[in-house]
Structure 1
Amino acid sequence: MAGLDGQRILLGVSGGIAAYKSAELLRRLQDAGAEVRVVMTASALHFVGATTFQALSRFPVRSSLWDEAAEAAMSHIELARWATRILVAPATANVVAKLAQGRANDLLSTLCLASEAPVMLAPAMNRVMWAHPATRANVATLQARGVEFIGPGEGDQACGETGAGRLLEPHQIVEAVRAACVPPRLAGRRVLVSAGPTFEDIDPVRFIGNRSSGKMGFAVAVAARAMGAEVTLVAGPVTLPTPAGVRRIDVRRAAQMRDAILSELPGHDVYLGAAAVADYAPAETLPQKIKKSGETLRIDLVRTADILAEVAAHPKRPRLVVGFAAETQDMEGYARDKLLRKGLDLIAANDVARAGQGFESDDNALSVFWRDGRHDIAHGPKPRVARDLLALVADHLEAKA
């Protein structure tokens, strides 16, 4: 399988039983046209020997920062500059945690921090470790920084358990690397993304909000940046880290989000409105906390501005305006109505009533509609769904050229 010609891949091998698959992965990367050099952690050397990787790659295998011969010329910096892409396979829970924390206490973690090359991690660990909240938080942190995860797969594990955490097969990893190395189809484009909820204050203590985590919008921003776009992200109140290379504007209320988006709009080629903007806000925000009194409490709400419709009708409208629709019933009917009523080019709809996708989830599935077409993006991790969506956006931009 070709497709990696000219790629210089630094293959990191960390200490898990799945490290035995890394030798086949190395050979398949070479068969696809890549030049590969290998860095192993000290733990990896307990599972597989360096000699095998040295013979296959035809380059010395590095495993220590304290190699006097190599480090006399700052070899780790040379390696960091040499790589066009860093691939860690297997990536253990320990490696994921170290990279999320920005630690650099061995050669592999130091290279990941010292290189400007994209980083891809192929996790391999026990299913409980993969599902642990600490691991999930570390994965989310790295994804927000632009690190791409390949897998893990599901199935039988070396520990005797069954579940998510298996290293994907070498051919699957190579295919993911090949897909990530496609030309930057949004190079030279300016993309504006809105993400997260808005909070509409009732008093200094309470607000009206929604369950949007911002993960989908942030994944869209990361995907657009990875495809070469200049990206501005208008974010509601979320705790996600700013994606690498993305300019971020933080807002809280719908009115603030509207002002920020309309101010940034001129000169952008694409607007993707992934934010879950409040449709209504309190007519008045009280200066003091409302005290509990009667059995009921009435709060008057007023409509907020329709940001998406304003963007679509704006005299400096982007070439492509993409809306989002989170629905719980008749998804296509409501999405197509919104598409036509607001004058959008595309609308990405998802069924948030389905378990395991949409709000607060790490996964999603989208059905994208336009006036005379539809494209379904299969259920999967939000970063992958975002990449598929941006590929469709690129298709439509190129069709408009």
Structure 2
Amino acid sequence: MSTLSDVWLLLDDPQMTFSAGSQKVLPANTGAWIGNTSSTIGGDISIAFQGTSISFTGDISLSTTSPTWFLAGIDLNSPYNVSFPDAGTQIYTQWYQTPILPDGLHFVNLSSIFVNVDYAIITAGATTQLNGSTIVVDDRSSEITYTGNGWATSDTEIILGSGWVNGPPLGNTTHRTSNVGDGFSFRFAGSNINVYGVFEWTATGNVDVDFVLDGETTSSSLFVPLNTVVVHPEILNYQLFSSGNLLAGNHTLIMNITQANGNQSFILDYLTYQPSFSFLAGKPNFTASASSAPDSPLSSASNTGMTGAMIHNGMNIGAIVGGVLGGLIGIFISLLFFLWRWRRHRADIERRLQESSRLSYFLRGRLSDSPPPFYTKSSNRFSICIEKFKHHNLLQPIQIALHHQLLQESLAGKNLLHMMN
């Protein structure tokens, strides 16, 4: 089977195309098969899939005369001979997996085969269309965070009882515990989620479990009812939780054991969900941001509060940074405005000084051959100039007042320029 870091798509046997003559077996709610169905094939199996590999699981060596090999053809390549694992022994196992293929659309044809098919696992690639697919998450996946000290990993085969072929769980392992306070958390982006495990029909006592999905709690109890006729000592694909339809988006599922008696255990095998993203590029990476999972719904609420506080603090930091940048921009705009006003004011002063200078030269040409200076720091010389203008017979009183005003403005303007410089 592919590595645990891959994304697996579950393909149940009713979704496959078989040659004529195949026989479908429908056990009555036994749970021995995924989806309660399997198919016995005597002929060909044809599969088209989008991804990088595909594997098949089911019973092999259905009779003492069953072929121990078959032909596998991939795309346009020549078929090659494949031998069943443990040929001659009737077991439930993964009996074929393609080599790792380039990401894309592939066609697989298995011919001259006599075998039982329960399900197939497709390893998704970047181009795999995920709409309508079912993602399966093995119990060893890093996307599942376990909490508590009672968890144990088991790789023993499941004992189905007389008349059934024993075999391993999906992915060959399970996680089990009966310790109060143990649990797990799983975050996903999808529109439903289901939890499957192994149930021990010969165990005594009970295990009470809370499943908390997005803050809503569903409680259940695992126990064997009185007067139950035991068909299987253990059973695969036992549904421990089902969410039903959810709004497509990000969700968090938390499991916590609240009570345990006897030797009954909670045994996790795998999770399934329908994704709300269309391609792997849109799959959120929840494991990158999550450092640990909560130990219980109560601690989950506490951790949620911490997360909210962290987000709130992040928002405050963003607001502060935005405010500082806004303030700096405002100061910069204000400086530009004052600089513009200062330049405009200086230009206005220079313009008026030039006008005053032109008027002074005009009066000098009209009133006297030896005009007063344009301006003087001596108040006495300024007064002498005014007195001289007053005695000129061509200068009217209004002209004297005008020139007096211009000379005062000129003096003030030059002093202002001197201060600026």
Q: TM-score, normalised to structure 1's length?
A: 0.25
Query: Larger % of strand: which?
Result: 2
Query: Larger % of helix: which?
Result: 1
